[in-house]
Structure 1
Amino acid sequence: MQEFYNKVFMGGMSLLLVSLLLGYASVSRTYLYLPLVPAGQSGMLWRAVTRTDANKGGASEIKIHDEQFSLSYDFTVVKQAQYPYAEIALEFVDASGAPTLIDLTAYDSISFNIRCSLTNTMVFSAWTVEEGLSVSDDLGSYRAPGAFFSCTEVWSRINLDLSRLETPQWWFDLHQLDLSRQQYQLNKVPRIAIGSSFQTPTDKMVSVLINNVTLCGRDWRYLYFFAVFLVLAWGAFAAWLFKQYTRSLIASLAQKQERDRPLLAYQQLSIAPLRDREKTAILQYMASEYANPELDLDTMVAAINVTRAKINDILKSELGYTFISYLNKLRLTEAARLLAEKPEANVGEIAGSVGYKNTSYFNKLFKEEYGCTPKTYKSVCKKQ
């Protein structure tokens, strides 16, 4: 059985190591990171565009200084139009530079670093297509759910949940839609934008610097794959373990039966080599009386007239056992034979037939001797 335990240890450790490595790789790949700024590290093509209230009669201005390494720009919101604003947007384009729609459903948040020369509240917007309403050349027809955040003179890391953006009320009023229609889809997004809000200081130039813009998400397919791998791999290992255990147990019991074969015929033990009368008396008496549940050393001393010390000395020198251990060996060997040859007999009956009154004690001794319970031994012998 030691070889079996070695195989189980090596196989289990190998599978555990593979599971840990695959688990680490799966969890790592579950996290999705798509950088947008700096442009040189971006996984998507985009261009920076600006938008102000100029088409609404306003005088707000915005000027871009850098769009490659960061988004650096100045803007001034002038309180002239009814709803003054200024914003910078990342407009997604295809390889030819034409505006296109991208799918952001794999991403659930966006993060970026931002600093403003004047403290103010700004708004992030993700423009989305509203089926049956949006028109490609009319930005006002696109839904623009957004989220507000604070921008100060100190660098801050902003993290926004893309699944919890709120559509502004003006959009519902413009299209005469029910305010309860808050659901939006991120599968068709033409641009994302950062702009002023109604709390942005007016008639003052604000300098903004933005970098490390990153889309973040989770791809759960890798965890599903890992879960399937765990079920299949460890299920197969458990099946292999059970099969190998059965084979190893059968082989181990067969070897033990072969070693104990001389004891199976203890009633016909050859006493020719045992010329000493005391040795002969001891072996013959134990071979014939082993099944007596009342048999003990004192009973044997009285029956064969050999001292306790002499009995133990002879058994130890001839067989390597004490009286009790040799008696248990005889009983358990016979019990093993009966379990193999009489599958109809129950464990309690066999325990009693070899001299054990207590079945639980018999089970304990048998498991210590053969490495399995009498019931398992009977099952293995039946398969064998």
Structure 2
Amino acid sequence: MIGAHAPGEGGAWRPTTGCMTMQEFYKKSLLLLIALLLADALLAVLFVHLSQPAYSLSPAARDGIHWERVPTSDDVMGGTSTVRLHDAAAGAMVFDYTLTKVAKYPFAGARFVAKDAKGELAPLDLRKYDTITFVARCTPADPMLLGVTTFDDKVSVPGQLVTYRSPGTFFSCNEQGVHVSLDMRRLTVPDWWLSMMKLPLTSQDYELDKVVQISFGSSSQTPFDVDSHVEISNLELRGHDYRYIVALALILVSGWILFGLWFFRTHTRTLAASLNGRLKTDLPLVAYRQLTVQPHRDEEQASVLKFLATNYTNPELDLESVVAGTGANRNKVNDVLKTELGMTFTGYVNKLRLTEAARLLTEKSTATVAEIAYSVGYANVSYFNRLFKEEYGCTPKAFRTLALQHPPASADPPPKMVGNG
């Protein structure tokens, strides 16, 4: 609220602009904004994490399923290729193998097999995972084959893995280690399996809803009769669940909409309350009225204040006209305003004019802003708009709208300025 020392009570009045309420509002808004940003950041981290599910092939039981490491080779087809597994950390596979060309389709490698507590095959639904990632180290460096074995309801025989679809793809592997990321939805079903199952070569469709094993092994470019060492580490399945991203977007948008609604609604109310208070208790107006109505020992001082109060609407009003109209010298005029009100000549005249303009904006709804500006002594409307916004924190149009939407709590009208009917 605007504060002042009335004449005779010790010192000039000192305006405080009535911004304390608005300052508290902006402080509260800033705190809410910071809290909202922090909440959004935490939600973003959480939902992004949830939108990227990960799964590791651990030997330890998870949901009743464990992944068992099993060597695999062409010995079932009469081959002599050999494989030897080594102990490895969870989600890793380490093995040595030697490929021979005895079998018709030479093959050697190792696989993760999903089994239940009874040691039986336990098909898993891995459809929410679309990528498999791992680090591959091989000595010597050779291309290798990744295979995903999944049960096909149309052609597979339960328990007979050779009848399960085994789409796969090749990946690079060397001594330094290759970071591999493969799309599990874009694997290729091998020709030999399609021929064995008497299916057309175009039968490349498969589902990851009943996966029983993931294998790593030799390729057609693997050299024969060479001892090879393979390390597969950091093996992980990753997916993308966009439902969490959509939910996050909805929550963030809703939060910002609610904050925006609260901000503008509360800002309007707070500003309206501040403006109503200023209209009701504008102490520069009270100060000058008291100084012009009450008797003064200094007649010259009273003459100066009364002249300003009755002529402030004159666009030509300046310091020289006050001197001419009151007979006081220039220094006396400035001393009166500085001593009694703590303001300059220009500041005090603007205060009188803007206070009256505020009253007219609330009482004369049909008058245009330009008409009101002219009536209180401003010949330049743009200049008036700028000064008014600096004084009240909003444009004259916004002030009028707020005043009409939020009338003062008191029924008493704002004081009428002297010199303007």
Q: TM-score, normalised by structure 2?
A: 0.82
Structure 2 distance, partners of 1:210, 1:111, is 10
Q: Which residue of 2 aligns with 1:227?
A: 249
Structure 2 residue 80 is the aligned partner of structure 1 residue 59: yes
Identify if the C-alpha distance between structure 1 residues 151 and 323 changes in structure 2 by more than 3 Å, giving closer, same or farther: closer
Structure 2 residue 258 is the aligned partner of structure 1 residue 236: yes
Identify if the C-alpha distance between structure 1 residues 179 and 345 changes in structure 2 by more than 3 Å, giving closer, same or farther: farther
Range that drifts further, 146-155 or 11-20 = 146-155
| Cα shift readout 1:27-75 (whole Å, capped 9, x = no counterpart) | 33433332225x2497851222343333434333334344676533333
Residue 172 of structure 1 is aligned with which of 194, 201, 212?
194
Range that drifts further, 177-186 or 360-369 = 177-186
Q: Which residue of 2 aligns with 1:118?
A: 140
What aligned pairs does 1:177-216 form with structure 2 within 5 A after superposition?
Answer: 177-216=199-238
Q: CA shift at 1:132, angstroms? A: 2.1
Structure 2 letter corresponding to 1:22? L
Structure 2 residue 370 is the aligned partner of structure 1 residue 337: no
Q: Which residue of 1 aligns with 2:3?
A: none
Q: Is the 8 A contact 2:303 2:326 kept in 1?
A: yes
Q: What SS does the aligned partner of 2:132 have? A: strand
Q: Is the 8 A contact 1:33 1:216 kept in 2?
A: yes
Q: What SS does the aligned partner of 1:164 have? A: coil
Q: Which residue of 1 aligns with 2:17?
A: none
Structure 2 distance, partners of 1:60, 1:224, is 51
Q: What SS does the aligned partner of 2:229 have? A: strand
Q: Which residue of 1 aligns with 2:414?
A: none
Q: What SS does the aligned partner of 1:209 have? A: strand
Structure 2 distance, partners of 1:178, 1:341, is 88
Q: Is the 8 A contact 1:36 1:42 kept in 2?
A: no
Structure 1 letter corresponding to 2:235? V
Q: CA shift at 1:264, angstroms? A: 7.1
Q: Is the 8 A contact 2:292 2:305 kept in 1?
A: no
Structure 2 distance, partners of 1:218, 1:206, is 35
Q: Is the 8 A contact 1:264 1:334 kept in 2?
A: no
Structure 2 residue 381 is the aligned partner of structure 1 residue 346: no
Figure out how many residues of one structure are paired with residues of the other and give that number.
383
| Cα shift readout 1:301-354 (whole Å, capped 9, x = no counterpart) | 222222122111111111222111111111100000011111222211111111
Residue 316 of structure 1 is aligned with which of 320, 338, 363?
338
Q: What SS does the aligned partner of 1:151 have? A: coil
Structure 1 distance, partners of 2:102, 2:243, is 51
Q: What SS does the aligned partner of 1:172 have? A: helix
Residue 111 of structure 2 is aligned with which of 85, 89, 97?
89
Structure 1 distance, partners of 2:397, 2:61, is 68
Q: Percent identity?
A: 44
Q: Is the 8 A contact 1:125 1:194 kept in 2?
A: yes
Q: Which residue of 2 aligns with 1:251?
A: 273
Q: Which residue of 2 aligns with 1:382?
A: 404
Q: Is the 8 A contact 2:292 2:306 kept in 1?
A: no
Identify if the C-alpha distance between structure 1 residues 262 and 71 changes in structure 2 by more than 3 Å, giving closer, same or farther: closer
Q: What SS does the aligned partner of 1:81 have? A: coil
Q: TM-score, normalised by structure 1?
A: 0.90
Structure 2 distance, partners of 1:9, 1:282, is 46
Segments of 5+ residues of structure 1 without an aligned counterpart are: none
Structure 1 letter corresponding to 2:314? N
Structure 2 distance, partners of 1:41, 1:263, is 83
Q: CA shift at 1:18, angstroms? A: 2.0
Q: Is the 8 A contact 1:348 1:359 kept in 2?
A: yes
